[in-house]
Structure 1
Amino acid sequence: MDTGTHIAMGIAIGGLATLDPVVASSSETATAVMAGVIAGSLAPDLDTILKLRNNAQYIRNHRGITHSIPAVILWPLPILFVLSLLFPGADLFHLWLWTFLGVIIHVFVDVFNAYGTQALRPFSKKWVALGVINTFDPFIFIAHVIAIACWAFGTSPGPTFITLYAIIVLYYGWRFYEQRQVANAVRKKYPDVEQLIISPTMRLHHWHLAITTKKKFHVGRAINKEVVTFDSFDRVPVPDSDVIAAAKKDKNLSAFLSFSPVYRWEIEEYNDHIEVRFIDLRYRSKDYYPFVAVVQLDYDLNIICSYTGWIFSEKKLRKKLDYLPN
């Protein structure tokens, strides 16, 4: 989920913590718990700092080890240490317990996005992405804001947030149901589907579709369970060539391939270089596919430059590759 929603969820969990008699009986413990659950709700996303290094590191590692089982266990400990110094009278066990819950909820809700997490590490490096909730879901965020506002205006936090999460559980169930209906509609239109990726959007009844059949890739959208196809591409295997082998040694392309489950490829030859491009088919936006990996090589197959990430115009991509002055 986005940072704003994680913060709102942290506040909501802090409100639920008032149902804990130990928390409710001590203002210092209650304040420490609120700080702890908010910190715990944000901590796993500290790997966002990798973006400052380069996109390849970010793509390969974001929501990876920081969302793993060992990390979920370890994140509360530094938070607990800092808060024990700031709030020496707080009950440490209950502070740890609610902070731990904040971390768990963060990782748990991220599993329902299309991006997903490696939440099963170290047992599996598989990305777990259920794809039913958008990274920013307006309904979930607004519901939290309303519940927090009700608390601020005097409602009892326990019943308020229990009601909130009962509604959200029903909402998740409805999203799974609608996703299944969309999948049935796709398979009715394309009976030879081999792989189907359904990704949520911010609009309730709109879903991104990346469909792999025996001979084609189809990209489209489901709108009110009606399947609309925007683009279709021949399904051409990536060639086993020296150019591709050289390009795959690049860190940017390697990171892209470790993350993207469905893509097409292009090779273009120019006077002084060869360009290899891989294009993720999940993220079509305004007739453009913004998540790409591009590697340029000279004719001796040495890498000249490369890029991977989200870019929303060809002009900006060329600037990244130093075709145009910055």
Structure 2
Amino acid sequence: MDSLTHIVLGACIGEAVAGRQLGKKAMLIGAIAQSIPDIDFIAAFFLSDTKDIVAHRGITHSLLFVIVVSLLLAQLGARMFRDRSMSLKRWILLFGVNMFVHVFIDSFNAYGTGWFEPFSSARFSFNVLYVADPLFSVWPFFAALLLLIIRRNNLRRPLFWKIGIGLSVIYLFYALYNKWDTDKAVRRNLEAQHLPADEYFTTPTLFNTLLWQVTVRDGNGYHIAYRSVFDRNDKMDFAWFPRQDSLLDLVENKDEVRDLEQFAAGYYTVDKRNDTLLFNVIRFGQIAGWDNPHARFAFYYYCDRPGANNMVVQRGRFEAWDRNTTKSFLTRIFANGR
């Protein structure tokens, strides 16, 4: 998830675990603890672009990292705050719960997390939440804001952190239900349209869990469609995208290709733009694909162009985004799309 979500959620958890012992300092420590796994951004300073892409959310998002670092920081916290009635067990909970929640909720969006690094390079990605979803984050945000404002001895403090965390959990279950319902509709369509039934994934479009991208892998390419939870017509209109992976033979840096293929986990296309090969990772979605079924993909990597791929994950998300795109986005969600 985005950094702000981790900060406010960490502040609420900090209040829940240690607010009575540490006061508002518990919120600060919780916010820091929740942000620690993202320390892997430092790797970008000394790794190549593709190595950095593969390494992100790797070892620092593993269960081993959570356990080891929680124990170390708990010892440090206990030494620094000896005058507080705070047991070592509670310190471990303060750091451990926050870091575990970080790596847990990160696995619900498209990038995926390496829970079992360094023993396994497998990435866990449930594709349930977009990386920044206001309806998931708004509740702990306002809860954390209120907890900062009101006094430490206010009897309503537990109510605020419970509401902030509880409503986010409820929204997560709502998102899971929407994905389950979308997957059911996909399977009906695959059967009716005679498409492969086991090679597909669904992922939410940006900032919501109401409009979903559906990607079906079939032979040498992919069928992509969109479904809103409000659609009355169950039929999905798929657009075809060829993989064109033979173009990767033209790439000189074969290590770069291997890294990208590992990161894409089998869902990618290759095309040319101005004589430059682009490697597109499909699971990050299209650029306003609900408006233009054949739109380009949001994640694209320039092959054989060192230095041209800064902020590669983020740069395509809002290309061509304007008032008309926003209108078509809302129309596709709420006007049944048909």
TM-score relative to the length of structure 2: 0.74
| C-alpha distance in 1 between matches for 2:209 and 2:63 | 32
Match of residue 49 from structure 1:
42
The 3-state SS of whatever aligns with 2:32 is helix
TM-score relative to the length of structure 1: 0.77
Match of residue 32 from structure 2:
39
| C-alpha distance in 2 between matches for 1:85 and 1:35 | 17
Conserved? CA contact 1:80–1:92, under 8 Å:
no
| C-alpha distance in 1 between matches for 2:57 and 2:223 | 28
* Count of paired positions: 292
Conserved? CA contact 1:147–1:164, under 8 Å:
yes
Identity among equivalent positions (%) equals 21
Match of residue 219 from structure 1:
224
| C-alpha distance in 2 between matches for 1:268 and 1:3 | 33
| C-alpha distance in 2 between matches for 1:268 and 1:168 | 41
Deviations 1:200-224 (A, max 9, x none): 2313311222221356412232223
* 1:1-326 paired onto structure 2 within 5 Å: 1-18=1-18, 24=20, 26=21, 29-30=22-23, 33-53=26-46, 54-77=48-71, 79-80=73-74, 83-84=77-78, 86-90=80-84, 91=86, 93=88, 94-151=90-147, 152-153=149-150, 154=154, 156-191=156-191, 192-193=195-196, 194-200=198-204, 201-214=206-219, 216-224=221-229, 226=231, 229=237, 231-234=239-242, 238-239=245-246, 244=249, 247=252, 249-251=254-256, 253-261=257-265, 262-266=267-271, 276-282=277-283, 283-286=285-288, 287-296=295-304, 309-310=312-313, 311-312=315-316
| C-alpha distance in 2 between matches for 1:128 and 1:63 | 10
| C-alpha distance in 2 between matches for 1:105 and 1:280 | 27
Distance 1:61 1:229, change over 3 A: farther
Which deviates the most, 225-234 or 115-124? 225-234
Deviations 1:293-326 (A, max 9, x none): 3434xxxxxxx7585534449x9xxxxxxxxxxx
Which deviates the most, 92-101 or 137-146? 92-101
User: Which runs of no fewer than 5 residues in structure 1 stay unpaired?
Assistant: 297-303, 316-326
| C-alpha distance in 2 between matches for 1:78 and 1:56 | 31
| C-alpha distance in 1 between matches for 2:45 and 2:119 | 29
Distance 1:246 1:285, change over 3 A: closer
Cα deviation, residue 232, structure 1: 1.0
Cα deviation, residue 80, structure 1: 4.0
Deviations 1:58-99 (A, max 9, x none): 211110011112211122355446545653424350223211
Cα deviation, residue 31, structure 1: 5.2
The 3-state SS of whatever aligns with 1:281 is strand
Q: What one-letter code is carried by the residue in structure 2 that aligns with 1:255? A: D
| C-alpha distance in 2 between matches for 1:214 and 1:279 | 17
Larger Rg: 1
The 3-state SS of whatever aligns with 1:118 is coil
Cα deviation, residue 235, structure 1: 5.5
User: Which runs of no fewer than 5 residues in structure 2 stay unpaired?
Assistant: 289-294, 320-338
| C-alpha distance in 1 between matches for 2:87 and 2:278 | 53
| C-alpha distance in 2 between matches for 1:221 and 1:31 | 45
The 3-state SS of whatever aligns with 1:190 is helix
Distance 1:155 1:250, change over 3 A: same
Match of residue 324 from structure 1:
none
Root mean square deviation of aligned Cα? 3.1
